[in-house]
Amino acid sequence: MRRHQRLHRRAGPATAVRPGDQRARRDHGHPRRVRGAGRVRRHPPHSTRRRQRRRPRRHPDPGRPDAGRHRVRQALREPDVTSVVLTRRGAALWARIDRPGVGNACDGTVLAGLERWLAAATDPGVRVLVLTGTGRSFCAGADLAEATALLGDLPALLAHLDRGRRLVRAIRAAPVPTVAAVNGAAFGGGLELLLACDIAVAADSARIGDRHLAVGQVPGWGSSVLLPLAVGPALARRLLLTGETWSAEESAHRGLVSAAVADDRLVGHVDALAGAVAALDPAAVRRMLTVARPPVADADWDREWETLTAHVTAQATARAGSTSPPDRHTPGSPTRPDTLDRPPGTEHPRCAP
């Protein structure tokens, strides 16, 4: 009792303090209590525990059974930065080249999109791959504007062309059947993409031809190798050397495509075809592909590639030795603006291997 009285006298006269007035309490000798003082925290805060329990998201191992499903979901979810639109229609995965302003010519973004489409074939739910284009063109081949810009960097140009060549060979070796829904003009590399597919169906308005020589180029993605297998050596040489184009009806008659249908029936026809293939036993279909696809010797692929390499190297050397810039408005020039939208069947300016 005396001890408390001494403390009271030392603190001075009493002053009324309202409940909760912490400043007045500190001024009259009441020490401020620090929250949590004297207590030992046995566990980290709740939010910290949650962060500790959260595991980083795992990407599926390519060898796991669900890896293919992940690729399809990822491909369909990614923004369309590749100029190729992927659409799942039943058991078929459609790839639509979406560069109608330049005849759906293949630049680096198109090649990336088609690589993504092809990689999704590992999903067990994908039984068929379908390739088509937007507008009046199926595909006009490689983008000559991009290729011309790379003439000053020969290794980069050859790497770009080789990427397309490897893509065509990969489509031809796909683990599931591939179908080309040829909605319009297919020239140069577009013809080579068509030839790489197991089945091709053309709309009535489609025009099909090689036309490499029409723009001063030679094949590099498989025309000289695959075209003789489709129509025979004699007709293949005729298409390669004359640059002529065939209608959908003539292409079907010559065996270049399996059928020619009305434009408004193309998607429905290919849907039914893909559904019929998807209904079959997938293991049996895979084995059938190994015998149904005619073999091509590596030497044939190499001979075509060596020919293209020599041709492009000569063009790059001539360009480097030229003192005057190329005429960008010469008739037939790949970059002439007024030739970008020529009707099907005429020379397309951006057609290349």
What are residue 133's phi and psi, to 5 degrees? -135, 170
What was the pLDDT predicted at 49?
47
Query: Cα dihedral angle (21, 22, 27, 30), rounded to 10 degrees?
Result: 120
Most confident of 57-61, 69-73, 286-290: 286-290
CA distances from 191 to 16, 61, 215, 223, 244 (A): 97, 36, 15, 7, 13
Mean pLDDT of 200-224: 95
What was the pLDDT predicted at 64?
46
The percentage of residues in the chain with a pLDDT greater than 70, rounded to a whole number, is 68
Unique residue bearing structure tokens 């330049």: 102
Q: Considering only 18-27, 99-108, 209-218, which range has the smallest mean pLDDT?
A: 18-27
Q: To 10 degrees, what angle do helices 154-172 and 108-119 make?
A: 30
Q: Is the pLDDT of residue 141 over 80?
A: yes
Q: Is the pLDDT of residue 63 over 70?
A: no
Which is more confidently placed, 274 or 3?
Answer: 274
What was the pLDDT predicted at 153?
87
Which is more confidently placed, 2 or 318?
Answer: 318
Separation of alpha carbons 85 and 106, rounded Å:
14
Question: pLDDT digits over 289-334, tens only?
Answer: 999 999 999 999 999 999 999 999 998 888 777 644 444 433 333 3
Structure tokens at 88: 């799942």
- Looking at CATH, the fold of the domain delimited by 67-321 is given as 2-enoyl-CoA Hydratase; Chain A, domain 1 (3.90.226)
Question: pLDDT digits over 3-61, tens only?
Answer: 555 545 554 554 444 545 554 444 545 455 545 444 544 545 554 444 545 554 444 44
Question: pLDDT digits over 152-194, tens only?
Answer: 889 999 999 999 999 999 999 999 999 999 999 999 999 999 9
SS3 (DSSP) at 128: strand
Q: Are strands 207-209 and 259-261 parallel, antiparallel or unpaired?
A: unpaired
What was the pLDDT predicted at 70?
47
What was the pLDDT predicted at 224?
96
Amino acid in position 123: D
Q: Are strands 199-203 and 259-261 parallel, antiparallel or unpaired?
A: parallel
Domain boundaries, the chain: 67-321
Mean pLDDT of 190-207: 98
What was the pLDDT predicted at 300?
95
Question: pLDDT digits over 74-96, tens only?
Answer: 444 444 456 999 999 999 999 99
SS3 (DSSP) at 164: helix
What was the pLDDT predicted at 17?
46
What was the pLDDT predicted at 5?
55
The percentage of residues in the chain with a pLDDT greater than 90, rounded to a whole number, is 62
How many angstroms separate the first and last alpha carbons of the chain?
105
Question: pLDDT digits over 223-267, tens only?
Answer: 999 999 999 999 999 999 999 999 999 999 999 999 999 999 999
How many Cα atoms are found within 13 Å in the side-chain-facing hemisphere of 159?
6
Q: Is the pLDDT of residue 268 over 90?
A: yes
Q: Are strands 185-187 and 207-209 parallel, antiparallel or unpaired?
A: parallel
Q: What's the whole-model pTM score?
A: 0.71
Unique residue bearing structure tokens 């403390």: 7
Identify the DSSP state of 329. Answer: T
What was the pLDDT predicted at 96?
98
